[in-house]
Amino acid sequence: MTNKEIYIIVAVDCKNGIGKDNAMPWHFKKETQYFKEITLTTKDPSKKNMVIMGKNTWYSLPEKYRPLKDRKNVVLTRDKFLQIEGVEIYTSLDEAINSAGDDIETIFVIGGATLFKESLIHENLTGIYVTFIENEYECDTYFPEIPSKFSNKQLLKEEEEDGVKFKFMLWK
């Protein structure tokens, strides 16, 4: 198993909603910017980070933004025949994690609900970057309960956009 740090990164509304009709229920520039900053930043400039996502999340990304730039993009599916240009495809989370070589610094699980559920109970999960959006949206997909072992809750920053407040937190 890898010795790299593995984080979930997610944005939730006040009812833990994360998605609607295989898309994001909200659009905030500051939230998108934060996601980019966290998933792109490396301490070692010669390395990059890996983003792992479920197949639905891949297709939910606007075509012009995928694969996500300057990160190793990994998509999970049980479909052994799926091929996507510029992306590595694996059929299990551990297979994806174990594919991270020396060029990868940190692994981020970026969604969606199916993959979050499995990752939250993964023994090697280091922490969870959660953006709490203080508003309610119509959602059909929800973030599972965070296991109680993640008890160290750090507020990294607070922002506001279009009259909506959000809190960027790291749970470890």
Ligand X SMILES: NC(=O)c1ccc[n+]([C@@H]2O[C@H](COP(=O)([O-])OP(=O)(O)OC[C@H]3O[C@@H](n4cnc5c(N)ncnc54)[C@H](OP(=O)(O)O)[C@@H]3O)[C@@H](O)[C@H]2O)c1
Which residues contact ligand X by CB under 6 A?
10-11, 18-19, 22-24, 53-57, 60, 76-79, 91-93, 110-115, 118, 141
- Shortest Å, Cβ 88 to ligand X: 13
- Shortest Å, Cβ 141 to ligand X: 4
Q: Where are the alpha helices (DSSP H) in 41-133?
A: 55-60, 93-98, 113-120
Q: Where are the alpha helices (DSSP H) in 41-159?
A: 55-60, 93-98, 113-120
Which residue number, 104 or 133, has a Cβ lying nearer to ligand X?
Answer: 133
Prior bond of 112 cis (ω within 30°): yes
- Shortest Å, Cβ 118 to ligand X: 5
Angstrom distance (rounded) from CA 33 to CA 37: 6
Which residue number, 33 or 103, has a Cβ lying nearer to ligand X?
Answer: 33
Angstrom distance (rounded) from CA 21 to CA 84: 22
Which residue number, 51 or 104, has a Cβ lying nearer to ligand X?
Answer: 51
- Shortest Å, Cβ 68 to ligand X: 12
